[in-house]
Amino acid sequence: MKIIIVGCGKVGYSLVEQLSKENHDLVVIDIKEESVHSITDDLDAMGIIGNGASYQTLLEAGIKQADLLIAVTNSDEQNLLCCVIAKKAGNCKTIARVRNPIYNTELEFLRKELGLAMIINPELACASSIARIFQFPSATKIDTFAKGRIEMLHFRVTPECKLNNYKLIHIRTTLKCEVLACTVCRGDEILIPRGDFVFKEGDIVSIVATPANAHNFFKKIGINIGHIHTAMLVGGSTIAYYLAKRLLTAGIQTTIIEIDPARCEQLSELLPEATIICGNGIDQNLLLQEGLEHVQGFAALTDLDEENILLSLYAKKVSKAKVVTKVNRSSFNSVLDDLQLDSIIYPRLLTAESIIKYARSMSNSLHSNVENLYKLEDGRVEALEFYVKDENPLLTSIPLMNLPIKKNILICCINRQNRIIIPGGQDTIQPGDSVVVVLTNDSLNDITDILIN
């Protein structure tokens, strides 16, 4: 597809980085020449210096032939205007990033009235991810499928965990747990394990299960499953606001530490039930004074990755809190893995996932729609949810054990009329099913792409 991206900041760069791997024809627009060159010099995209809300600039970018325009400038209003003009000029699909909380309750109204395909709020998506992790602290990351009925949970095998030196097959036969191990990250290696696979200390494992079965599984392998009751957030960003709102609604006592007095006043008005502390979040004495040693959840949400990493390491050292670290740059993932931080959240990657999911759904999928897409393990693994539209003699009503499925692909869940099936060899895919597929070293646009041609 031909895709135009307006805005060459961090999110714009990340979008081009991800979408170029999908073999799309990409054009980027920004008023700053250096921002455009930062993308075109590194990645496969054409660049135009200009205002993305200008009709002439859009014509130069090829709006008449474009299939999709994505507006991710720093201004919500400009993003919306870009999308409106793009629809009038070229009749393409449009996606806008809208971040200001003032629009939060109006997003669906704006989307419908302005004719947008999607409105993305990365900060809200990020806050939702952190809230899910705080509600299930044993997981390092949680992805949801089937409208929340099924979860993919990622966790680390610790020395005291029962899975240490344990064969995968015994999860079903001995523990009697209805979960499916999808991937194992061991050092630099990504594995889709089979029944004779033996888990080792330090492995990062992803499982698929219903929330109830996941709780049962974690309880049996000796991993804590209790919800947190207190949380400390360092950095009073928009993410912190959305997250605090979610935590307070769930009855979790929440403290926010923010250095800017004006922002503290704002947060005090917006979140009267939260404790707002005006101070420097990297002041160890302040953190201890405000109860870091006893807090159950800690999130480092400042604008500086280095600060967030140091804060998280300190929180892990002095407390037993579940620690979440916000990181904007993803270029040092191997270093971060060595630090063994609890959970790392990349806001701009969440945005890219949503847009790639939509871009794939726009492609000519004959037999299925992409309903969900998650990039895992630095993009080396994908988890996708497909809706199977209709009967297909090559795919449906055939036992999975008889399907010619490509290597490194695992069908890990089937949602059939809200009944969750963790599939075995005798199970089949039927029209109307939602199917969750995990794969490495490939990408899928349609459910039939899992089959060997």
Contact yes or no for 259/280 (Cβ under 8 A)? yes
> Can you list the positions of beta strands (E) in 354-417?
368-376, 381-388, 409-416
Residue with tokens 């888990």: 199
Across 356-372, average pLDDT: 74
Check pLDDT > 80 for residue 137: yes
Q: Which of 370, 443, 383 is nearest to 142 (CA)?
A: 383
CATH of domain 356-450: 3.30.70.1450
Query: How much is the pLDDT for 366?
Result: 58
Report pLDDT digits (tens) over 291-334. Answer: 999 999 999 999 999 999 999 999 999 999 999 999 987 666 66
> Can you list the positions of beta strands (E) in 172-313?
180-186, 189-191, 204-209, 230-234, 253-258, 275-278, 297-300
Query: How much is the pLDDT for 445?
Result: 81
Check pLDDT > 60 for residue 364: no
Q: Which CATH number fits domain 230-345: 3.40.50.720, 3.30.70.60, 3.40.605.10, 3.30.2310.20?
A: 3.40.50.720
Report pLDDT digits (tens) over 210-232. Answer: 888 988 999 899 887 778 999 99
Check pLDDT > 80 for residue 363: no
Query: How many Å apart are CA 420 and CA 399, to the nearest integer?
Result: 17
* Share above pLDDT 70 across residues of the chain, in percent, rounded to a whole number: 97
Query: How much is the pLDDT for 331?
Result: 61
Check pLDDT > 80 for residue 40: yes
Query: How much is the pLDDT for 368?
Result: 66
Q: What is the residue extent of each domain of the chain?
A: 2-120, 127-220, 230-345, 356-450
Query: How much is the pLDDT for 398?
Result: 94
Across 235-257, average pLDDT: 95
Amino acid of residue 355: I
Check pLDDT > 70 for residue 367: no
Residue 248 Cα distances to 69, 141, 240, 252, angstroms: 37, 21, 12, 5
Task: Look at the domain 127-220 and name its fold.
Answer: Alpha-Beta Plaits (3.30.70)
Mean pLDDT of all residues belonging to the chain: 90
Structure tokens at 215: 């709780």
Burial of residue 408 (number of CB atoms within 10 Å: 0-12, 13-18, 19+): middle
Contact yes or no for 166/198 (Cβ under 8 A)? yes
Check pLDDT > 60 for residue 289: yes
Residue 38 Cα distances to 7, 62, 328, angstroms: 12, 21, 17
Does domain 2-120 match CATH 3.40.50.720? yes
Report pLDDT digits (tens) over 384-398. Answer: 899 998 898 999 999
More confident site: 338 or 437: 437
Check pLDDT > 90 for residue 446: no
Q: Tell me whether domains 127-220 and 356-450 share a fold.
A: yes
Predicted TM-score (pTM) of the model is 0.82
